[in-house]
Amino acid sequence: MLDGYDAFTTVGRTSGHKINSVMVRSTKPGFPDVVDDRYRELMNTYRKWLYITKLRRSGHLLELHPRLDVHPGDQAFDCVACPRPEFNFSWVEVAEEERYDGNFRAYRKNKKVDAGDVCFSDGLAYFPPKQEYEEWVKSQPEPKKSQEKPTCDNHKAGKDNSVKFAGRDITGIGAFTCTSHSCVAPRGMVNFFKGERQFVGRLEGEGPERVWAHFNEHSGSTSEQGPGMRLDTWCNVACDWGFVKATEMHRTLPARFREAKKSHAKQLREHETLTSSFPRRKIQEWESESIEPKNENNDGNWTTPLMDPVLKGGYYETLREERETETEAVRLTGRRSGAVRWIADGIELEHSLQNLKDEQKALGSKPTARQAELLNSKRLALRDRIDLFMQKRVLHMLEIDEPDQPRPLQFVGEDGKWAEPVELGLPSSYKTDTLAKAGRLLGSKAAVIKFKNQHLSGQTATTRAESTIQKHTAKILKARQRYLNSRDALLKLEPTEKDLDQYRDLQTRDLQTLKTYFEEYAQTTGHGKTSMSWIWRSTAAPNKEDWQIDVLKTEWFWSRERFKRWNEQLILLKREMIMSIRLFRQYQGLWEWKARNGQPSPGMRSYALKRSTFFGQLARQMLGASLEYLKDDVVHLEWANTWLRDNVSNGVFIETST
């Protein structure tokens, strides 16, 4: 019954009062008044049972191991995947790292306390010795109160006189937790007696918040408990939290490794793609550049390649280039020859016909005489171009049948109706031109917006600037349509995998200016999977212009660091898997040693052997789930490989005689 009670309080987050109410209902449904009130006896019995259980699990009355029992009577359960000296790593292999934060919902109300309310786990589990800790807190001088308004003023965490803490002798708890798994460190929890101070949590900061979400569900009952029972309850909750984390490592670590491997491959691919879009000399220059902050002018202005770039945009150069380009209805195909030029001419005809259709639609049903005359002249010019194109078809397409996947575009006749023109494929160089044009237009648009925000004021000037921005937006969308039309032609010509990677589907969301990307990047956290629009990383339209290279330099460094971080994550996950296996094996051997050494009673010897078997099963389960990933060559961890060679054969542990 007490095992079930413990499961309800830890796993089910249920208070003792609710469990007692359920037991009263089950004893005499409909007549609760005739049931004796045994709530006090239930709580006392549970606390004593829990104390005895913790003693037994800590190896009480069993022989102490001369090397592994570094904390005799330890009732905490440490993280199995984190570095533990002499348990699952050597000091020369890995380094320690911990983070901390505070939870101000795990308070305790200031109320009368029973004289016999002592803490059974005082200094033996997750809280330090109560008296020593309180004396240390009182000896610390109060920090001087700053006259500046705190940034956390809205939730009043730092105010000792806040109504939030009225009637509470303990305002919350703090805890050291491992960053990767959020397990509480032994002797790593303390009581808080003041409000949260400014600058607390400035390191990793929010890592323990993942623990508080679980702990907060227990705070309702612990706030009413006496100080001794409250500490015992929190120690039990923290121990159960770490135990559950340990028994789930065989699922969580391999799953995280698979996800990290996907992100690692993606970030590597994107970094290599971005690298190939720059001149080689630039890459060599950047590879030799340090990312450490520098104060080159000794003026306090520190710079690093990882800082957000200042977007120059190539504003006037881009605008001048656009004004000098040909009209939308009549485009030249460049210096191409033979069949390639003939195919490009055909695709240009398709684009010109589409532009003519858009223009006809924009003029409406009642164009002016001049507009109608201009439209008709364009129509006649296009008809002549189509006739010339069809005459050359026999020369270039003599042995080719009619297209099996037609791509009809309608043509405006003199009667205002539509007819069907020619069907053709497209050389990839034409898509490249269109993609590069989209990039230039996006740079121009960003420069126009920046110029407007910095220099223009007044309704007239602002309206003109917005009109210019709208025109650029229309040109960008037109370039996208031309690209998609060209890409559609490529898809019908059985493109290679490389072609599909270079010429991807261009969504509207991909038409993002670099300025917008960098602004959003600076305002968000968690950049492990962030990447800019693929058009800025495409090898089909390399970044050759100076403004593109200057701006994208920062993204190149970012993408390289993202890839490196995922590489480090894979190494850490391999390390955590091998450490979990080694620690379970260490516990298995430790409990077997306790069963065979000293003079344990038959009952304690049997218990020790069962504990050894339990940890042996966890070790085999962890090995079976992790072996595939430990052997994965995506990253190399030599000390882990050496341990596997010495201790594992054909997927099972090599057992040595004792």
Interval 272-298: pLDDT, tens: 888 888 888 888 998 998 888 888 777
Q: What is the pLDDT of residue 131?
A: 81
Give yes or no for residue 430 having a pLDDT over 60: no
Other CB atoms within a 10 A radius of the CB of residue 186 amount to 22
Q: Are 127 and 189 in contact (CB under 8 A)?
A: yes
Give yes or no for residue 443 having a pLDDT over 60: no
Closest to 577 in 3D by CA, of 655, 632, 517, 515 = 632
Q: What is the pLDDT of residue 425?
A: 35
Find the length of the chain.
658
Mean pLDDT of the chain: 72
- Minimum mean pLDDT range among 109-123, 143-157, 501-515, 582-596: 143-157
pTM: 0.64
The per-residue b/e assignment along 566-597, b for 16 or more CB within 10 angstroms, e otherwise, is bbebbbbbbbbbbbbbbbbbbbbbbbbbbbee
Work out the burial of residue 314: count CB atoms within 10 Å of its CB; fewer than 13 is exposed, 13-18 middle, 19 or more buried: buried
In whole angstroms, what is the distance from residue 274 CA to residue 543 CA?
9
Q: What is the pLDDT of residue 163?
A: 40
What one-letter code names the amino acid at 375?
A: L
Q: What is the pLDDT of residue 47?
A: 87
Our CA angle for 189, 190, 194, nearest 5°, is 145
DSSP string of 506-543? --GGG---HHHHHHHHHH----TT----GGGS-TTS--
* Count of alpha carbons within 13 angstroms of residue 272, beta-carbon side: 8
- Minimum mean pLDDT range among 447-456, 512-521, 611-620: 447-456
Closest to 222 in 3D by CA, of 232, 212, 209 = 232
Q: What is the pLDDT of residue 390?
A: 67
In whole angstroms, what is the distance from residue 13 CA to residue 25 CA?
20
DSSP string of 452-468? HHHH--SHHHHHHHHHH
**Distance, CA of 128 to chain centre:** 35
In whole angstroms, what is the distance from residue 176 CA to residue 81 CA?
16
Terminal Cα distance for the chain, rounded: 39
Q: Are 268 and 563 in contact (CB under 8 A)?
A: yes
Q: What is the pLDDT of residue 93?
A: 58
SS3 169: strand
Q: Are 551 and 312 in contact (CB under 8 A)?
A: yes
In whole angstroms, what is the distance from residue 441 CA to residue 470 CA?
12
Encoding tokens for residue 149? 């308004």
What is the rounded average pLDDT of the residues 184-199?
A: 70
Closest to 438 in 3D by CA, of 488, 490, 486, 378 = 486
Encoding tokens for residue 423? 């069907």
In whole angstroms, what is the distance from residue 612 CA to residue 655 CA?
14
In whole angstroms, what is the distance from residue 99 CA to residue 293 CA?
25
The per-residue b/e assignment along 52-69, b for 16 or more CB within 10 angstroms, e otherwise, is eebbbebbeebbebeeeb
Sequence-distant (≥ 6) Cβ neighbours of residue 288 within 8 angstroms: none
- Tell me: the pLDDT tens digits for 7-25? 888 888 888 888 888 889 9
Q: Are 216 and 228 in contact (CB under 8 A)?
A: no
- Minimum mean pLDDT range among 24-38, 69-83, 164-178, 547-561: 164-178
Q: What is the pLDDT of residue 468?
A: 57
Query: Bridge-partner residues for 328, per DSSP?
Result: none
DSSP state of 191: E
Sequence-distant (≥ 6) Cβ neighbours of residue 304 within 8 angstroms: 291, 292, 293, 294
Q: What is the pLDDT of residue 504?
A: 74
Q: Which residue has the tokens 């032609």?
A: 489
Q: What is the pLDDT of residue 220?
A: 61
In whole angstroms, what is the distance from residue 354 CA to residue 377 CA?
16
DSSP string of 15-32? -HHHHHHHHHHHHSTT-G
Q: What is the pLDDT of residue 590?
A: 93
Closest to 93 in 3D by CA, of 647, 639, 645 = 639
Closest to 632 in 3D by CA, of 588, 585, 574, 576 = 574
Q: Look at strands 172-178 and 98-103 and give their pairing.
A: antiparallel
Q: What is the pLDDT of residue 273?
A: 83
Confidence label for 593 from pLDDT (cuts 50, 70 and 90):
very high
Q: What percent of the chain has pLDDT over 90?
A: 16
Other CB atoms within a 10 A radius of the CB of residue 493 amount to 12
- Tell me: the pLDDT tens digits for 78-109? 888 887 777 776 666 554 443 334 444 444 44
Q: What is the pLDDT of residue 99?
A: 36
- Minimum mean pLDDT range among 38-52, 259-273, 484-498: 484-498
Torsional sign, CA 528, 533, 536, 541: positive
* Count of alpha carbons within 13 angstroms of residue 306, beta-carbon side: 11
Confidence label for 408 from pLDDT (cuts 50, 70 and 90):
very low
